[in-house]
Amino acid sequence: MKFNKTLIAGAALATAMIFGVAQAQEMKFFKIASGSAGGTYFPMAGILATAVSNPPGSRPCAKRGSCGVPGLVAIAMSANGSVANVNSIQSGAVDSGFAQSDVTYWAYTGSGVFAGKPPLKKLRVMANLFPEHIHVVVRKDSPFKKITDLKGKRIGIGLQASGAKVGAVLILEAHGMKENVDYQAEYLNSSQSIDRMRDGQLEAMITVTGYPQSAISELASMVGARLLPISQEKADAVKKVAPFYYDEKIPAGVYEGIGTDTKTIAVGAQWLVSADTNADLIYGITKALWNKNSRKLLDRGHAKGKAVRLETALDAIGIPMHPGAAKFYKEKGMKLPN
């Protein structure tokens, strides 16, 4: 009986201590809108959520514990992608999200694909993260050699509110192909498109994503895949419309069975927050993003994590930076973009 009372007293004391820690260190949740299954945004958001979190009661950073913002619990949320994410940040449905730099600029200025819509003036940048490459994917056993060969075919171009769709339409229009006129557009996420390609229900998929992307890797390993190149002429045509894109390549060996470099174009993936978010909080998150512990998580967590570098954090930024993030970069002696 005495033993049972001791157990109860100990449990009560532990509960009181945990409650006391939670009170002393207020818990705050921070939502990160990412992308759909099979893409790069969602796993990367999960890594960054871990990096910046430090829930009440966590082991101290100095003792191999959490090195994030004290009391913060960041949550990676699956979402439709760039276009959906900027709208969610503007409305306050989420605290932050990932988006392509072109979509970010167009949303903030009410131009490009957002022409005729109210500008999303609450958008602020916290960091440029990693490059996203346009992938034009076909099965290895298909007869298609160039993008114009896909005329009249079924092409997965991403979900309706995704940056993938924005990039896919740009590429296809540069090749003189109009949506649902010169090809049958299928509004699917990467995993759905790859499943249909594997079953012969889709001829191609076009997406904008960091490599290696898991869904494409799956197609390459199971039935074989090829990547169609983008010519310099067509790349230049896209860059005139969307100047945030730049010439790039997908290196040989990224996907099983693809042994040569593929010429393409890329755009930056950026971490956006709302202008309404507390500057001290964003300063803390930015500082946590670039600490040594986060570097280890990024390097080990995903192949694209190695591309997330402090030296490129201010690249391709076309909208205002959040003052909390700006404070951190100024302290590092970095020149902020105009």
Per-residue burial over 228-252, b if 16 or more Cβ lie within 10 Å, else e, is bbbeeebbebbbeebebbeebbbee
Backbone φ, ψ for residue 46 (5° rounding): -65, -40
CATH number corresponding to 2-130+269-331: 3.40.190.10
Q: Which residue has the higher pLDDT, 271 or 81?
A: 271
Residues carrying CATH 3.40.190.10, the chain: 2-130+269-331, 132-268
Mean pLDDT, residues 307-332: 95
Report the pLDDT value the prediction gives residue 4, as an integer from 0 to 100. 41
Inform me whether the pLDDT recorded for 209 exceeds 60: yes
Q: How confident is the model at residue 25 (pLDDT cuts 50, 70, 90)?
A: low
Burial of 131 (0-12, 13-18, 19+ CB in 10 A): buried
Farthest-apart Cα atoms in the chain, separation: 84
Q: Please enumerate in sequence order all residues whose Cβ is within 8 A of that of 123, keeping only pairs 6 or more positions apart, or say none.
A: 86, 89, 90, 104, 107, 108, 272, 274, 275, 319
CA 84-89-92 angle, to 5 degrees, is: 120
* pLDDT for the residue numbered 7: 31
Helix, strand, coil distribution of the chain in percent, nearest 5: 40, 20, 35
pLDDT band at 337 (very low <50, low <70, confident <90, very high): confident
Choice between 144 and 63, residue whose per-residue pLDDT is larger: 144
Sign of the Cα pseudo-torsion (132, 133, 139, 140, in order): negative
Residue 107 pLDDT greater than 70, yes or no: yes
Is 336:291 a contact under the CB 8 Å cutoff? no
**37: Cβ–Cβ under 8 A, 6 or more apart, which residues?**
78, 189, 190, 191
Distance set, CA 69 to CA 25, 52, 150 (Å): 11, 6, 49
List strand residue ranges (DSSP E) for 94-173, in order.
96-100, 123-139, 154-156
pLDDT of residue 6: 34
* Number of neighbouring beta carbons within 10 Å of residue 31: 19
For residue 66, name the pLDDT band (cuts at 50, 70, 90): confident
- Residue 109 CA to residue 107 CA, distance in Å, equals 6
Q: Model confidence at 1, in pLDDT bands (50, 70, 90)?
A: very low
| Right CATH for 132-268 from 3.40.50.1100, 3.30.1180.20, 2.60.120.1360, 3.40.190.10 | 3.40.190.10
pLDDT for 44 equals 95
Tell me the average pLDDT across 204-218: 94
Range scoring the smallest mean pLDDT among 24-28, 128-132, 156-160, 251-255: 24-28
* 204: confidence class by pLDDT, cuts 50, 70, 90: very high
Mean pLDDT across 57-82: 90
SS3 331: helix
Q: Is the pLDDT of residue 338 over 90?
A: no
Closest alpha carbon to 227 in 334, 133, 326: 133
Half-sphere exposure for 225 (CA within 13 Å, toward CB): 29
pTM for the model stands at: 0.83
Is pLDDT above 70 for 16? Answer: no
* Token pair listed for 121: 């003036």
Instruction: Read off the pLDDT of each residue in 309-313 and give the average, rounded to a whole number.
Output: 96
Comparing 59 with 96, the larger pLDDT belongs to 96
Mean pLDDT rounded to a whole number for the chain: 90
Percent of the chain with pLDDT over 70: 93
Model pLDDT, residue 275: 97
Asked if residue 12 has pLDDT above 50, the reply is: no
The answer, yes or no, to whether residue 58 has pLDDT greater than 90, is no
Check residues 8 and 246 and name the one with the higher pLDDT: 246
Question: How large is the average pLDDT for residues 291-310?
Answer: 92
Position 59 pLDDT exceeds 90? no
Say how many CA atoms lie within 13 Å of 5 toward its Cβ.
2
What secondary structure does DSSP assign to 209-257, as a single string? EPSSPHHHHHHHHHT-EEE----HHHHHHHHHH-TT-EEEEE-TTSSTT
